[in-house]
Structure formats: C-alpha cells, structure tokens
Amino acid sequence: MPKLKYLTALLLVLTLVACGDDKKEDKKQPVAKKETVKKEFGFVLNNYHVVHDTIKNGDTFGGLLQKQGYSASDVYNVTEAIRDSFNLRNIRIGKPYTLLKNKKNPDSLEVFVYEADRLNYYVIDLRDSIAKAYKRSRPLTIKRRTIAAAIEGSLSKTVQNLGASAALTQELSEIYAWSIDFFKIQKGDKFAVTINERYISDTIYAGLESIEAAYFETRGNKKYAFPFKQDPEKNLTDYYDEEAKVLRSMFLKAPLKYSRISSRFSPRRFHPVQKRWKAHKGTDYAAPRGTPIMATASGKVIAAGYTSGNGNYVKIKHNSTYTTQYLHMSKIKVRRGQYVNQGDVIGLVGSTGLATGPHVCYRFWKNGVQVDALKQKLPSSKPMAKKYKPAFMQHMKPLKKELDSISNITFKK
C-alpha cells in the first residue's frame, strides 16, 4: 500500500508539472524552474502569498475583506459587483477559504476563494478595479480497481480495511440479499469486487461510483454477480451469475438488513416469556429498537394490528402460495389492504406483545402451512431473455477473469 501511495503522489507531481501551462485567470509570470509548481483553483500558488483559513462564527464576507484593509465603500463595491454570481449569505461556519495576496505586498488581497464543499468553490477575483466572481468545480475522476479479501470481523469492517466506502457494504448486501444469508457470513468467507470509485482532483476519495462485477464465497460456495441491462431502452439493471441466471428471487433472505438470528424455527423450544415448552413457528431476528423491517416480497397487507401475543404485527399475502408475518413491532408503517413492494419498510423493530427484547419474529406460510423460511427453495424472478444472453456472456467473461485472477493472487498461499 505505501508503495501505491508513493506512486500516486509521484504521478500527481508529474501531472502538475505537465499541466503547468496556465489558464487565462493567471496573469503572473511563470515561476522559477526548480521550484515545484503548486496549482490550485486555477492559480499558480507560488506566485502569491497564500493564507488558508476557515469561516468562523460571526465572519461575513464583508468583514473578512475589511480585515484585509478594505474600506466599507470598497466592500460595498465588491459585493455589488459579484452579487449575481456569488451569494454572500451562503458563507457557512467551518468552510475553508483561501486568500491569495500579492507576494511582494502581502497587505494587498488579490483573490478570495471560498470552498462551498469538497467539489465546488467560488473565486472572487479582486485584481481588477471591478471585482468578479465565478464558480468552479474540482475535476472529478473515476478510478477502477479490483479487490479481493477474506472476511475479518464483519463485511463492513473488511470493506473499511480495503479503503472502500461504506456504500460498498450496502450495495453488496443488496445485490446478494436474495442469494446469500448475511446472517451466516463467517470469518474466512471471501469476496472480490471490481469497482469504480470517485476522486476529486485525482486524490481526494469521494465514494463509490458503481460495481462492475463481484463474487461472494461462503463456505466454499462461490456466487458471482454481474450487473446487466437486458433491455437498453429500459433503465432496469439486474444482477446475473456466470450462467446468466438472475440473482434476485421472489423473497429476500431476511426482513432486516443487519442483525442476528436469535431463535430459529423449531417444533419445540422453551418460551422465554411463558416459561414453557412450545413450538416456535418463526425465525427471530434480534435488532435494535427502531430498525426498519422490510417486506420480504411484494404483496397485499392482509392484517396490520395488535394482539397481546403478537404485539404490533403485519401479515402480507404474496400470492396464492405464500404469506408472511412480522411480529413485535414498535411501530406499524402500513395499513390493511395496502400493496407493498419487496424491500418496502412495513414497520420498526420493537418488543410489543410476548417478547423479552427488541426483535422481529418472521413467520412464513406455504400453502397455508407454517414452514421454516430459511429452509425453503424459493422461486427466482424473471430469467434473462435468450436474445440478450450472447451479449451478456461476452460482457461477463473478461470481468469474471479479472475477479478470478485477483483472487488467485490474493488467496494463493
């Protein structure tokens, strides 16, 4: 890793030197040859006396100018001149600004740069008799990389260790929501992804742009996922495996994103509240109170109410075969008769009814019989149309090769 950083830094320096030719904004003489050219906001900083600061409580643009020796009428003229291009009221506490002052005469402020966010900044050019202001954005670049790792601790921790955005954890758990039980992920499970990431000015990491390919391996079982649009006309991307089988299925693996299974479906268990042996015809997912509960499949809400045992609960009929139910909610978010989509939030985790702590008891019916949701072989959603398959295979093969070769390198012992 340090080597990579050094390389990036070196490349950056080379780039800066290479694009040392000036934009129109800078009228100063080029700097002496041996000095490293530092360029920012479209100015060669070497030509100025540079002051970096942040907006403090009580600071105003006018006040900052006055501190630089501007009279009240100068401030008025400047603010009038730039009024249309820079809203002075938008100056926020904590935002960085930069003063470019004349190198020979540090009392003379020439340029004021206000950074609205990491990407956008405003330049207030005070060099001419009439001030001008304009907005610029730092260049956003996309960098692509393929990474592979074994799970250490948790998926989010592992992703963090790879220097990737938390959004990657989120995306992966969504891509695999139908095919991998994230509650069963264990140490040593592996994954590899090819991702595109955003960088501001080539150096400042600005998050995940997209995933091109992925595989996830749990207990030796490898699941590939490649995003693909079947119909380029429609903006519908789905994920397919290496055989063009769609990953999405009719049901999500669980009604919650992150939690743990606290009690499984069993014909006999000791009830923690009632203190007696009885069947547990559901799967309990423990999670903090208020965690959103999702409909595991689309359907019609056929019950939403309260009983002393269930607490606040919701029951959804998905089709003539399947029905699901969600118990002990702190809050119900749907009404009886309402249609919900897969993944819609139908309530929040709580401990109403017969419950010792916050959890959702997830119940599953197949043809009117309560069954263990975790043991069902559930139907997939729409398969890929035959006519798109050749294009998909052609698109997928090099991506798969990339994932495989990086995992060969990473996991080879």
List residues binding Zn ion (CB under 5 A).
282, 284, 361
CB of 271 to Zn ion, least distance (A): 9
Nearest to 97 by CA among 39, 60, 52, 157: 52
Please identify, using beta-carbon distances, which residue of 112 and 251 lies nearer to Zn ion: 251
Please identify, using beta-carbon distances, which residue of 79 and 283 lies nearer to Zn ion: 283
CB of 299 to Zn ion, least distance (A): 20
Please identify, using beta-carbon distances, which residue of 278 and 331 lies nearer to Zn ion: 278
Please identify, using beta-carbon distances, which residue of 282 and 299 lies nearer to Zn ion: 282
Residue 361 CB: number of other CB atoms within 10 A?
Answer: 24
Nearest to 221 by CA among 262, 186, 251, 172: 186
Please identify, using beta-carbon distances, which residue of 137 and 266 lies nearer to Zn ion: 266
CB of 413 to Zn ion, least distance (A): 42
Longest CA span, the chain: 88
CB of 186 to Zn ion, least distance (A): 23
Which residue of the chain is nearest Zn ion when measured via CB? 361
- For residue 89, give the DSSP letter: G
Please identify, using beta-carbon distances, which residue of 282 and 350 lies nearer to Zn ion: 282
Please identify, using beta-carbon distances, which residue of 51 and 279 lies nearer to Zn ion: 279
Outline where DSSP puts E strands in 271-358.
277-280, 283-286, 292-294, 299-307, 311-317, 322-332, 339-340, 345-349
CB of 308 to Zn ion, least distance (A): 15
CB of 373 to Zn ion, least distance (A): 11
Question: Would you say 88 and 96 are in contact if contact means Cβ atoms under 8 Å apart?
Answer: no
Please identify, using beta-carbon distances, which residue of 115 and 284 lies nearer to Zn ion: 284
Is 73 strand, coil or helix? helix
CB of 311 to Zn ion, least distance (A): 11
d(CA 66, CA 237): 55
Type of residue numbered 395 = H
Question: Would you say 190 and 403 are in contact if contact means Cβ atoms under 8 Å apart?
Answer: no
Range 17-26 contact pairs with CB under 8 angstroms and sequence separation of 24 or more: 20/44, 25/123, 25/125
HSE-up of residue 227 (Cα within 13 Å, Cβ side) = 15
CB of 184 to Zn ion, least distance (A): 18
Chain position carrying tokens 């965690």: 291
